[in-house]
Amino acid sequence: NFLTPAEQILKGKAVVITAGPTREAIDPVRYISNHSSGKMGFAIAEAAAKLGADVTLVAGPVNLATPNGVMRHDVESAVDMHAMVMSLAEHTDVFIACAAVADYRVAEQSDHKLKKSGDDSLTISLIQNPDIVASVAQLESNRPFVVGFAAETQNIEQYAIDKMNRKKLDMICANDVSISGQGFNSDQNALKVFYAGGSKDLPLNTKSELGDELMQIISTLLPSN
Ligand code: CTP
Ligand code: CA
């Protein structure tokens, strides 16, 4: 049976991918979130599974079907996503952080629905969420190959490389979210990929094609056993 080089490397490898937004509760009926659709992460999961990897999606609230052969854990908040990812990390060969994790959560969630009070304004205090991809990259034993995304609107290359270095990632995929019709909530995207010793431009394409291209690049960067 003939296997391509990417298939030979990825066959049986445990690939964990976060996808979609997170949802941070304010009270039992309200939350803070963002417009991430989860499509990029699901496309990468599909591409990795096609190459024979053992793929697990950790998905925030999204409206997408699970790709064939992919294991899926649904989570809501960043704290839940962090806990799920860390429970899988020790047995992960490749971790790809595609989720648009909310940077902050509500400091004090109300256990009852908030009522309007006499005031014209309401102040909600937020506290920073754990950085999931940085936590995985900091692991000292069984550290996977770690891939992050960077959503930027300016100085794309500089900010992305800074992010990769700061979080100690092996690779980062930069995403210009200032251009409409690509990235957030779109079927298409364009990426600039940076890693130790190189970079690749992936021009505007369907997220499905980009998923295939990314998994090809990742396969060339993995230790070959
Ligand atoms: N990320 C994460 N956990 C967080 C925040 C971000 O795992 N709490 C991951 C994202 O999945 C992505 C990468 O970190 O792979 C970069 O996300 P981004 O929002 O671009 O970067 P931040 O570090 O949050 O910086 P900022 O939003 O301030 O630019
Ligand atoms: Ca962020």
ipTM: 0.98
Contact residues of ligand 1, CB 6 A cut-off? 18, 78, 97, 99, 101, 103, 129, 131-133, 148-151, 163
What was the pLDDT predicted at 45? 98
For residue 186, what are the domain limits? 5-221
Ligand nearest to the CA of residue 38, numbered in listed order: 1
HEC readout, 59-102: ECCCCCCCCCCCEEEECCCHHHHHHHHHHHHCCCCEEEECCECC
Q: pTM of the predicted model, to two decimals? A: 0.96
Contact 21, 75 (CB under 8 A): no
What was the pLDDT predicted at 225? 60
Mean pLDDT for each 10-residue chunk of the chain (225 residues)?
Answer: 93 98 98 96 98 98 98 98 98 98 96 89 95 98 97 92 97 88 81 95 95 98 81
Binding site annotation covers 163? yes
34 is annotated as an active-site residue = yes
Domain count of the chain?
A: 1
**CATH code of the domain covering residue 39:** 3.40.50.10300
The distance between the two most distant Cα atoms of the chain, rounded to a whole number of Å, is: 73
Quote the crossing angle between the two packed helices 39-50 and 207-221, to the nearest 10°. Answer: 60
Ligand 1 mutation pick, 94, 132, 162, 173, max ligand atoms within 8 A of CB: 132
